[in-house]
Structure 1
């Protein structure tokens, strides 16, 4: 589904990503782990095209993203959803409205201006909100929701607007244990049941081991561990957190 080859990201002071190679299949739940400054968030931003690559090749569903720049950019923006630690939502609007409005480049201008919604869009959004376990909160305003619930609204919004890949940067950071499990379980369920691909930066190793189908470990901008989701060996941990 996605193939990245020789991804390099440099800034004047240093190399943030150093010849990254990774192939991602449909429905994988990939946890990206590593110490602070290892390039985890930069990797997600590069995949979402929120950071400019210094060099490298990016193939998605057989499309060479950089060789077909306009088509490629539209494809990534349409099919890859980048979710930040604190997702940007409209606090005074309901969960349902946030899902329907979506992100600016995914929403028709007429809907942004008028706020009008077709009945099939409404029902589709409600179905997705139910999938992430928030049906009872559909008409609650974002400012009334917990951190974990807001994360799930952001996930639902991405799905409602056609995302095939979710790039989540520390989606459970700062959440209480119950919310952490809820968000991780819903991400896992999306991968298993809907073949959505999730690539998430995860701070806690034990969460990566419990929920991910694959674990990628970064150290100094390089992939040093790439294994099936399981309990990591001490040697593998030492490679990542040397």
Structure 2
């Protein structure tokens, strides 16, 4: 379980990223975070794994404070948290397999990983992860030879190879076309169900949110303004989250694009 207790994040320039957030995310949930750009979605996500340090409050993972963790303890926390970025965050000149194996770095010494001396078990794990997202045949291709959707699948495979208990996905489909968007979202949902991995995804599009979310968190100007099941997220609720009626910019497209 992930729990935020009275969490506030203020950036050095005085911008309030999060304001007194109290929320619980249960094990195995598929959570979607929604809100306008600048609402606090990415800040919330990045505070979970301490990419951003909070100003006040405390964050707990499985009952232990990641806020207070440092050194080896913090590394162990992060080893269990996979991160998927909008821009894929791959080493584009390296092979797909090498990128996936980077998810194993937290399990080995710096010297061993520096020279790419991963054990056979790690190689097998990485290949299984690539197979799970249907790009095993690209294992020895350079990452920059892949399409955007394939690169994002490499990111997902990396989190799988990491054996993460939590996957955080920060706008993972923002730069993808509608069809590829659905393929990536289907991969994330399937992995969540099959491996019971707690998955927290930032999305902009409301129709995507309704299709995949079990539970949503709505942010507006750094405040959590909605926390509930997707069934309760009416058009009126989304209008409150966004501060205006739902527009075309909040929809990925008509049904034929992603059915």
Is the structural similarity TM-score above 0.5?
Answer: yes
Task: Specify whether residues 16 and 103 from structure 1 end up closer, same or farther in structure 2 by C-alpha distance, changes over 3 A only.
Answer: farther
For 1:155 and 1:82, locate their aligned partners in 2 and report how far apart those are by CA, in whole Å.
9
Pair 1:159-2:160 in alignment: yes
Q: Does the CA-based 8 Å contact 1:132-1:156 persist in structure 2?
A: yes
Q: Does the CA-based 8 Å contact 2:8-2:57 persist in structure 1?
A: yes
Question: Counterpart in 1 of 2:100?
Answer: 99
Task: Specify whether residues 234 and 54 from structure 1 end up closer, same or farther in structure 2 by C-alpha distance, changes over 3 A only.
Answer: same
How far the C-alpha of 1:51 sits from its partner, in A, is: 0.9
For 1:221 and 1:55, locate their aligned partners in 2 and report how far apart those are by CA, in whole Å.
14
How far the C-alpha of 1:207 sits from its partner, in A, is: 0.6
SS of 2:164's partner is coil
Question: Counterpart in 1 of 2:253?
Answer: none
Is the deviation greater in 223-232 or in 43-52? 223-232
Question: Counterpart in 1 of 2:10?
Answer: 10
For 1:184 and 1:123, locate their aligned partners in 2 and report how far apart those are by CA, in whole Å.
25
Q: Does the CA-based 8 Å contact 2:104-2:122 persist in structure 1?
A: no
**Alignment of structure 1 residues 1-242 onto 2, 5 Å:** 1-11=1-11, 12-70=13-71, 72-102=73-103, 105=106, 107-230=108-231, 232-242=233-243
Q: CA deviation digits over 1:170-215, x for unaligned, max 9?
A: 0001201121011100110111110111111101111111011111
Gaps of 5+ in 1: none
Q: Superposition RMSD on alpha carbons, in Å? A: 1.8
Task: Specify whether residues 42 and 137 from structure 1 end up closer, same or farther in structure 2 by C-alpha distance, changes over 3 A only.
Answer: same
Task: Specify whether residues 44 and 222 from structure 1 end up closer, same or farther in structure 2 by C-alpha distance, changes over 3 A only.
Answer: same
Moved over 6 A (4+): none
Q: Does the CA-based 8 Å contact 1:210-1:230 persist in structure 2?
A: no
What TM-score does the superposition give when structure 2 sets the normalisation length? 0.87
For 1:193 and 1:120, locate their aligned partners in 2 and report how far apart those are by CA, in whole Å.
21
Pairs aligned (count): 242
For 2:3 and 2:71, locate their aligned partners in 1 and report how far apart those are by CA, in whole Å.
19
Gaps of 5+ in 2: 244-259
For 2:71 and 2:118, locate their aligned partners in 1 and report how far apart those are by CA, in whole Å.
29
For 2:94 and 2:18, locate their aligned partners in 1 and report how far apart those are by CA, in whole Å.
38
Q: Does the CA-based 8 Å contact 1:48-1:81 persist in structure 2?
A: no
Task: Specify whether residues 67 and 89 from structure 1 end up closer, same or farther in structure 2 by C-alpha distance, changes over 3 A only.
Answer: closer
